[in-house]
Structure 1
Amino acid sequence: MPRDLVSKSFIRPCGWLLAGALTILPISNAMADDAKDILKAMSDYMAKQKSFSFGYDSSIEVVTRDFEKLQFASSGKVEVARPDKIAVSRIGGFADVETVFDGTTLSILGKNLNVYSQVEAKGTLDDLGERLSSAGIDPPGADILASNVFDTLMDGVTDARHISSAYIDGVECEYLAFRSHDVDWQIWIQAGDQPIPRRYVITSKHLSQAPQYTLQTRDWKFDSDVAANDFKFKAPADAKKVDLSEIAQIDEVPSPEDDGDQQ
């Protein structure tokens, strides 16, 4: 779902040796099976978590008409109570947004614009994801919040590899790489008995300059350690209620006139 959003929108010298090696060496069935097993373990672990929260930093790249690659960064927090509640905050250079879904209503507040919109959307988080996707709204990173992460991410995958172990924020992770027709994506999953996604990178490989979307997570909390949240949206007293189509500048990427005519 979010992988399609990238279409909207370094290797260090010694790294060329690794890149060359991966190009020359055949991908063994064991590498593919290992990658799928690790991803499945992460999917099963996440599916068992009834409530959790984490902070994140994200960035999305845009290529201008002059072939300049720009990177727009945001940070925020996600709180989830399965099967049907989520609250997401995100602040970046162009938007300050709060999104709340309580199982019956989706509410979006543009804090920087002091406007909000509400849409009836009864169902689970998976149902919400399908409705948003049908409406052309694909929140980046939502793949890892699905009830079955494995099936969601593996849809269309043509190649899978367990590259190596790696470290994200000092935490040991398993580094996996996957390919599909339109995008390549990589995921770093924490090693050990808490296989949570620590980093997720999507590359839109058929677009000029191959722009990427990156999501890096932190400060994970589960069940009793999660701060209490009733997931009830409370609009500021002076905020104006508008139609969802009227809420501008809530995306991570600014409009073309602001960023130099993105492609």
Structure 2
Amino acid sequence: MKYLARFGAILLGIAAILCNPVDTRVLAKTGQAADAKQAPEIDPDAMDALNKMGTYLRSLKAFQVDSESSNDDVLDDGEIITDTRSSTLLAVSPNLLRAELKGDDRNTFLFYDGKNFTVYGKLLNYYATVPAPPTTAKLIDQIYNEYGIEIPLVDLFKWGNDEAAIKKITSAIDVGPSSVGGITCEHYAFRQEGLDWQIWIQLGDFPLPKKFVIRTLTDDARPQHTSTLTWNLTPSYNDATFTFDPPQGAERIPLKDLNADTTKNAQ
């Protein structure tokens, strides 16, 4: 289920409010507006934090980010099944990328060397390679639009670039300081049509997103996606890191087959 909708897609319920004490930091920022029956509050500090984070992310020349995530899938009868996945993304500006996605049903690798893009499904030992555009930014749009493939954590490349997405935010709250993995962060909560989302941004000179939670409001089950991120801003790599070398016995298939129900899928 794709909760990061092309922003890239973004980012506690009534039960949580009833069962847990309400944080006075949130009350301080929302109570007055609620009493006055005003429109949802847009805290300029929260919006500024998003902009600063986006600017910083776009300034990075190289990074590796590891993600541990949980995803709610809603069955036809409304029951929620939560699965967990992990991913590792290594990116070097402007045109090198490697990613690995692991889950109970897949172990998939993505390679981009500035000339070719390859998706490799380790479990089935299938791969597909297509010519690629000269930059990561162009690659992201092309492979999604033409093949339905989304780079993991794609929003890290787009944050702050899409003014239309920013304008969709109807509520922005600075919840306050919070710790994620022992790192002091500032916790922000946002709302837009169909989505509630929260983000924890590291305080200090490195405004990195450390955690985000996205809840879908258009589904009665209110499914949720949660990811926790670990960053390395000085990753090790060489040219071979981003070039796919088919393992023994690997079978090449057309990339279009990856999205066809009746053909082989790289997993």
Structure-2-length-normalised TM-score: 0.81
1:31 Cα offset (Å): 6.0
Q: Distance in 2 between matches of 1:227 and 1:221?
A: 10
Preserved CA contact (<8 Å) 2:3 2:225: no
Q: Distance in 2 between matches of 1:168 and 1:144?
A: 18
Partner of 1:43: 54
Q: Percent identical across equivalent pairs?
A: 27
SS at match of 1:4: coil
Counterpart of 1:177 (choices 164, 189, 198) is: 189
1:14–1:63 Cα change, 3 Å:
closer
Pairing 1:126-205 to 2, within 5 Å after superposition: 126-135=137-146, 136-146=148-158, 149-152=159-162, 154=166, 156-205=168-217
1:112–1:12 Cα change, 3 Å:
farther
Preserved CA contact (<8 Å) 1:83 1:124: yes
Matched, 1:226 2:235: yes
1:138 Cα offset (Å): 3.5
SS at match of 1:26: helix
Q: Distance in 2 between matches of 1:157 and 1:124?
A: 29
Partner of 1:63: 74
1:109–1:155 Cα change, 3 Å:
farther
Q: Which region of structure 1 is more displaced relative to structure 2, 226-235 or 20-29? A: 20-29
Give 5+ residue unaligned stretches, structure 1: 252-263
1:129 Cα offset (Å): 1.8
Partner of 1:119: 130
Q: Distance in 1 between matches of 2:116 and 2:193?
A: 35
Query: Given residue 198 of structure 1, which amino acid in structure 2 is its aligned partner?
Result: K
Give RMSD over aligned pairs. 2.9
1:207–1:139 Cα change, 3 Å:
farther
Partner of 2:249: 238
Structure-1-length-normalised TM-score: 0.82
1:13 Cα offset (Å): 5.6
Counterpart of 1:107 (choices 107, 118, 128) is: 118
Q: Distance in 1 between matches of 2:170 and 2:143?
A: 26
1:159–1:97 Cα change, 3 Å:
same
Q: Based on CA coordinates, which of the two structures has the bigger radius of gyration?
A: 2
